[in-house]
Amino acid sequence: MKKRLLLMGLLGAFLLFALVACGRSTPTSTPTPPPPTPTPTTPPTNPTVQPRPTTQLEAYYEALAALPAYSATLVMTYEPEPGSDAKPFRVTFEEKRAQGKPERQWVHIHGLSSVDPNMKRNDATYTFIGDETWFTAGEERFYSTKSQPRRRLFLSPEDFIPATTELKDMGPAPQPINGQKVHHYQIADGKQLFGDGPDQPVEPELLQGDVWVSTEGNYIVRYIIKVHAKDLKLRPDPTPGTLTVEYNVVPLKPEEVKITPPEDALTLEELHLPGFEPGTFPVPKEAEIVSLIQTEREQLLAYNVLGKDPKEVFEDLKSKLTSMGWKENEEDHQETADYISSSWSKGKDTIMILVSPMRPHGGTQVMVRNAPLTSEQ
C-alpha cells in the first residue's frame, strides 16, 4: 500500500512510459533444448503430493480475476488531523473489464491533482481492446499496439489487503451487497496492511476493516479499510491522519461491457513531431504503427518495417529526410550490431532516430522522438 500511495501523483506518467518501453522492446530468442530421453522409473508405493500453499484471500483474488466481466470502483480518501499542514485528498478509480476475444478493459482515474496540487492532470483514462492501448490525460495522449500482457493496473485489491492478511469470520451477511449474497469477514490486525518495513506506520490504528465475499462466486464484493496513524506515508513527508479505502465489485455479462476507442484517440495524422506538420513524417506505407505519444514535453513515433534489415531501413529514411532539408548530426551517429542511432536537425528543430532489428522474427523497428532533455531540464 505504501508504494501505491507514494506514487499516486505519478500514476498516469508511470503507465504511459511503461507502455512505451513495452512497445519498443525487441524480444530475444531462447534456444529450446532437446527433450531428455525418458528413463523408466518405478513409481513410489505412497507418492507424496505437496500442493501449493494458498490462503482464502488468494482464492478470492483468483476468483475475481476469473470473472467473465465486472465493473469496479475504488475510492481512496485522506483526512489530516486537525492542526496538520497536510491537505486532504480524494481519488476515485473506475474500472470495467470483460474477458473474451478481444479482452477489453477501461480505467478512469479522477482526483490526481488533489494528491499533488502541482499536477496538471486531474483525470486520466486507459482503454485496452485486445493488443491496443489508449491513454488520455488532458492534452497528453498515447496509443500503442503492443500492450502489456498483464493489466492489473490500479484496481488490484491485493495491493491494499495483502493475501497474507488474517481475517475473522463474522458469518453470513444479513443483506445482499452489490446484488450478491455475501459472507462477512473482518481484518484481525491493521498492521498486516502495511507490513513490517522500516517505512511503515509505527502504530497504525485500524478503525474499520470489513470484507464481504460472494457466497456463490467466492470473490470479494466489497471491502472498507479505515486506518489512523501519526505517520502515514501518503506523500514524501509522513503525515498524521486517517486513510479510508472502499472497493466495490459488480459482476456483469461480457455483452454488457461496452468499451470502444476514445473519441480523442491520438492518430498518426495528428502526431506533431518537431519540424513536421502533423502526420507528415515519412512513414513507409507498409509500416506497422507500434506507439504514438503526444505530451507537453515528448513526441514519439515507433513503427515496424517487415522484410527489411536496419541498415536498409535507415538508408531509406536518411534519403527521404535529406531530400526534405534535414541534416544528420554526424557526431551523434552510432552504429552497432543491435541498433543505429542518430540525431537530425532542420533550423531550430531536432529529432532523434533509433533503428533496431526485430528479433527473432526479422524486420526493423524505427523510433522517432523529439531531442532528449538537457540536464538542466
In tens, the pLDDT along 106-146 reads 999 999 899 887 787 899 999 999 989 999 998 899 999 87
Mean pLDDT of the chain: 81
pLDDT at position 153 is 53
Query: What is the rounded average pLDDT of the residues 190-216?
Result: 87
User: What 3-state DSSP class applies to 80?
Assistant: strand
Q: Of 46-55, 57-66, 74-83, 109-118, where does mean pLDDT reach its minimum?
A: 46-55
Nearest CA to 233 out of 120, 115, 335 is that of 115
Q: Is the Cβ–Cβ distance between 93 and 107 less than 8 Å?
A: yes
Q: Of 34-48, 176-190, 242-256, where does mean pLDDT reach its minimum?
A: 34-48
Q: How far is residue 137 CA from its own chain's centroid?
A: 14
pLDDT at position 168 is 92
Domains and CATH numbers, the chain: 2-24+53-256 (2.50.20), 288-370 (3.30.160)
pLDDT at position 26 is 33
pLDDT at 375 over 80: no
pLDDT at 154 over 70: no
Distance CA 64, CA 155 (A): 11
pLDDT at position 200 is 82
Residue 226's DSSP bridge partners are 208, 244
**Amino acid in the structure at residue 88:** P
Backbone angles phi, psi at 102, to 5 degrees: -85, 160
Nearest CA to 162 out of 214, 197, 198 is that of 197
pLDDT at position 193 is 85
Strand 364-370 to 349-357 pairing: antiparallel
List CB contacts of 202: < 8 A, sequence separation 6 or more: 229, 230, 231
Look up the pTM and report it.
0.78
